[in-house]
Structure 1
Amino acid sequence: MVSVKKVIIDGESIHVFKSAIYLFESSTGITLELDLIVSEVTVKKYKKMENIIIEIELEDGRIINSIMHVKVFSGGLPQLNLFCELDDIQEYEDFDKVNENDAWFPNIEEGITLEEIRKVEMPIEEVSLKLKLPIDQVEWLKSQKKGPLNEMIKEWIEEFRKVNKS
């Protein structure tokens, strides 16, 4: 089985938690497929792109440079599926082969959790709140700078979550 050591997308190295590289055989031809478990931040960055320039370094030292199409799998862990059509498969003879009629596909989600992924790269989302507060508290909130206010709210939420775990 061939395994991936490093992945570089458009010149930027990405953190890969798990991966599978294989040949997919269908009635329309053969594609080289790379399934990756990555962070939610990475999925968000690449999900709207149709094609990317990719460099894949395999554990055995081989390097694959290609332009690949991007597909995002929804549900489960954050995942990218990168693929490109192949005319000549000679240099890929030792890769696993999956046929469109097979029931078997590589399961790269096993053994990793979203919590472990978020320890490496936590997505940051913007949120708006609608609150009813006394006017003096509203005035105080409006007078605060965004950075310190964000930190204060994050700390308050963490403390609140600790107290209310039981």
Structure 2
Amino acid sequence: MAVVKSVKIDGENIHIFNSAIYIFESNSGYTLELDLIVSEVTERKYKKEQNLIIEIELENGRLIDSIMHLKTLSGGLPQLNLFCDLETIDEYGDLDRVNESSSWFPNVEEGVSLEEIRKVEMPNENISLKLNLPINQVEWLKKQKKASLNELMQDFISEYWKKQE
């Protein structure tokens, strides 16, 4: 079984939490498949792309460069599922082969948790709050910069969270 050492997408290294690379055989032909568990930030960055330039380095030193298509799967851990059609599989003898009736199919989510992923890269999200505050507090809030309000809220929530545990 080939093991992925590193992956670059459009020339940029990405952090991989788990991966599987294999050949999928079907009646219509062969595809090279690359399943990656990545951070939520990485998944969001690429999930709307259709074609990506992928550079794969395997642990045995082999390099595979290809333009791959992205298919998105919902649910579970953040993933990028990439594939490209192959004319011939002669040069891919070191990769596992899978078909629809195979008893083995790679499970890249096994052994990885969302908590582990977020320790490496925590995504930020925008949130809007509707509050009913005294006018003097509203005026003070309006004078603050967004960055300082973000920091204030993060500190407040962290302290409040610690007290709840």
**TM-score normalised according to structure 1 size:** 0.96
2-structure distance, mates of 1:51, 1:100: 24
More deviation, 48-57/90-99:
90-99
Aligned to 1:123: 123
Please tell me the residue identity of whatever aligns with 1:148.
S
Please tell me the residue identity of whatever aligns with 1:45.
K
**TM-score normalised according to structure 2 size:** 0.97
2-structure distance, mates of 1:28, 1:86: 11
Q: Does residue 17 in structure 1 map to residue 17 in structure 2?
A: yes
Aligned to 2:69: 69
Give the conservation status (yes or no) of the 8 Å contact 1:24–1:97.
yes
> How many matched pairs?
165
Cα offsets for 1:64-120 (capped at 9, x unmatched): 010000112211110110000001101111211110223431011111110110111
The CA RMSD measured in Å over matched residues stands at 0.9
Which residues of structure 2 form unaligned runs of 5+? none
- Identity percentage of aligned residues: 67
2-structure distance, mates of 1:103, 1:159: 49
Which residues of structure 1 form unaligned runs of 5+? none
Aligned to 2:105: 105
Give the conservation status (yes or no) of the 8 Å contact 1:17–1:36.
yes
1-structure distance, mates of 2:3, 2:78: 19
More deviation, 53-62/102-111:
102-111
SS at structure 2 position matched to 1:73:
coil
Displacement of 1:25 in angstroms is: 0.7
Please tell me the residue identity of whatever aligns with 1:10.
D
Residue correspondence of structure 1 range 1-166 to structure 2 within 5 A: 1-165=1-165
Give the conservation status (yes or no) of the 8 Å contact 1:43–1:72.
no
Give the conservation status (yes or no) of the 8 Å contact 2:30–2:88.
no
